[in-house]
Structure 1
Amino acid sequence: MYKVLIVDDEILFREYLRTVLNWESFGFVICGEAKNGQEALLKASETRPDLALVDINMPIMDGIDLSTELKEKYPNMAIVMVTGYSEFEYARRALKLGVEDYILKPFNPEELFLTLVKIKSQLQKLSEDRKVHKDQLHWLREQFLNMLISQDLTLKDDELVTQFERFGISPSSDPYVVITIEIDNLYQKWDSNQEIQLWKSTISNILSEILTWKGHNLVFFGPEDRIISIAQIDLGETCASMMETESLKRLCDMVKRHFKFTVTVGIGRSHDGFTGIRESYMEALTALQSKLTAGNGTVIEYQDTDLTKQGFYSSVVNEKMMLALRMNDHAELKKHLDDVFQYIREQRLTPDMTYVIVMGLVSLCLSHIVANGQDIVSVLGAGFAPYQEMKRQENLEKTYSWIEEIMSKTLKSNEEGNRTSRSKRIFNEAKLLIEQNYQDPNLSIETITRLVFVNGSYLRKIFNKEAEMSISDYLTQVRMHKAKELIIQKTHTIMTISEKVGYNDPGYFSKCFKKYFGLSPSEVDVMNG
């Protein structure tokens, strides 16, 4: 229901407005009444209406002044002026203040109904736009936080501060610690994307509640369906750090007792600066790999053990393979797979360590399938049981063939998936940024990659795949078509148009325009004269 505030100094007219329609049947509810502008401001602060029906001629504060203040304080509030014929010009002036509409007294129920239908459509669109913006901002925040833990971190410190502030995060000079949580045997328990997302959300909500670091605790979903926390700590508070470890142990215990599955927690060491976030994250991943010996359902703190000194399997390889999966690049994926098995042979790894590495590759595929909105069963079959199947492989060659087949099926699922993939969302976001900022002459691929938090080569590959053109060609296309629209309108000079579409030099703009359309701007102008 949309809330309506009635503002009029005549009690009989307020009564008429309140009873002339069955408001609720149209999706509205009267949330308050006021007899002047001052009283209306107080009511608005208490009830936060979606729509105000405002009379122009009132004592103490008239409708024009009231509308001005309401629009300043609540820009999304819809306002409809209610006025008589003698005040018609005032009502027209009110439209320039941002008032949505006006209705002339006397009016009948049908006229009011039609006005409300129009306002309701505007409110619905505003609500939808807010939701889209909120979802987009949440997705960009996740992208940004994932970039902080990835090897794609190319932003300078001042740029990172700007992005932190963009998402309402105030960075401080305190060191960073990264915590990673893995739901053990995740894909054995659930093959539905919906169930996996539900349990990830549940664990992340618990994590947000139980951690009490002095600084920020940024919880988000990371690669391979892990839950990540980037926390800021005060190294002077040693006991606080120990308390957080105990809180994480309590998390593991709560999940095991109440949800009947286990989670394993890896904790990196504290590091200074933004680049330390990546270092702490890699340590947390290494700690997670140690669950082979520490066991599931435990909290493992990173230690520079003999295991890591042996050159234990690097998670950087997984990042490269994840990128190859997203880009549907079979050759690149196979190259990295060959490198992994070459590493296993050269290091003469034990069966247990080989098992950890290979199951990590399986986890990559499963998380990619889920991220694409598909069920594991539909891609890999109802009988897929990776842990048992891995144990049945007789030698390294057969293990290689087994994981290669899983990866092939995963790649095939890219072509069959119906939902928007991560790469598609990045493409849409980059496209939107171009369409919103093409007027900026300094807009570049580097600027766009910084705003969508991916590296340039990845974005170029996405654009070539999704748009079948380069990102720079798309930027030129947007600018040229917008320029053509402005030329046809005949309201601006060529110099002004060139500036409006991101060109500082009108001569260079004209040259680009002719190259694109085969006609100069002046020739297009004459043809549409």
Structure 2
Amino acid sequence: MPTILIVDDETIFRRGLRKMIESASDGWQIAGEAKDGYEALELVEQLKPDVVLTDIRMPRMDGIQLQQIVKERFPHMLVVVLSGYDEFSYLQQSLRHGARDYLMKPVEREELLETLSKLRGELAKSAAAPELLAAEPADARQIRQHVSEHLVSGLLRGDVHENELALLGRIGLTFGATCFACMVIKLDKDALDRERYGKADPSLFQLYIQQVVQELLNQRSNGFSFVLSDTEVVALVNLDCGAAAANPLMELAESVRRRTISLSNLTVTIGLGSAVEGIKAIPRSFREAKIALLHRLIVGGDRVISYAQTKESSQALASNLREWSWSSLETTVLEGKAEQAGQLAADMIAELCALARSPETIHQQICKLLLHYYEEAEKLVLTKAWLGDRTIQAVLLDVCAITSRAELIECCRSYLGHLADCIAGSRRQPESDPIEKAIRYVNLHYREQLTLTEVAEQVFLNPAYFSTLFKQRTGKSLVEYWTDLRVNEAKKRLAASSEKVTVIAESTGFGNVRHFNRVFKSATGATPNDYREQARSGAGSL
């Protein structure tokens, strides 16, 4: 019986495809499901399915990247592509990477079954001619790209260590110099023709930009680039340390910007972090590059913005705001004096509105102010507590849409007062206690895919020692504690809302509803639906 792997980031589509495939009269076995390309690659290695049915637009690794790697590493494996974007360039690219068919969402049952029938015929022919399945040597470039993306993204987060760099060396990516710098390249969507952007999948633009960046890195420096998200490309540059390091970095970034324009008529904005020494400092340069990129909202796009420039801008802002008690505001916020910080912020914005020559100046200054405190919140690991699920980009865009002086004043009073309150709350906890600090961190991030190593690094302890200490202090393992948080949150939402179980499972960090059902029943003795019914009827004490 032929096997098929379903890859789509939307649970409802995976379920629908599974149901249609299982209803096929000629019989197909679902080997597994994956929500993105990274998960799919792991399952492809483990399960060796005959067919991969993949969506194009997915987080982390999209369908085109997945096709490239599957084609080179498993040339006998068949791939069918699904997409909601009817665009000729997609069809070309998918077929070029070996797709056997191309289906548009929403998929029609008859069309899918017809495609499966064709694939079954191809598999039968291959089985009759076994020599066609002889594995071709995997393309080293594709393997290098996949493994390097995984390890370099780990370097940016700070969870890859020096001994793991040997793996990069074995696949041809070596860092001979001692210094590193990060660039984050973002497509200027607002400068792009809307029709052109709307017709194509956004990931295509990012893949194109990544290719431009990598070509220049190969020509002028040493480094590695990859698609960071649906809107950004990141580059890690390896270079010699020295006072002049900033000039080659700026020249490289400007070359990326100019070449992208000349070859594609696309414009990009580039955030450039500082050159830092050693791999342990890479996350700092990455954070700086992201913060520099945020200043696009202030200075505009189609340019390179270095972190050093933003610091100079912030220092100039501090100088201009001294008559508005900038230093007093800084002190009250960082000391956690919420009421005083809110009032000082309100006074400063009121005076800014009275003195500024244009609304643009007011918005620019407020954006600089909020970006400054965003950086402070990042350092204190309080961004989540301060902004919740909102991004700083969304906050700044909202601020720039406000035209009322009173609303601007109240907005800044609220944000800076709340940040001071968050800082006060964090300092009320015993900072010297690593387990208390770890508990606060897990409480803030329990919806994310945490690891023991990640939490241990937050409190600067060896993972094995931290695990033992955490169990001694709390009576639970980290996984048990983390699971309890998720289950308790799910219980509250089941009892108080009509949200679907799948939505609650995903939003509380479980992702896979089957895993959620199993864990929830083990913890409570009831399925999620039974728990909801009993909680609402008042029956039992769950």
- Which TM-score applies when normalising by structure 1? 0.37
Q: TM-score when scaled to structure 2?
A: 0.36
Larger radius of gyration: 1
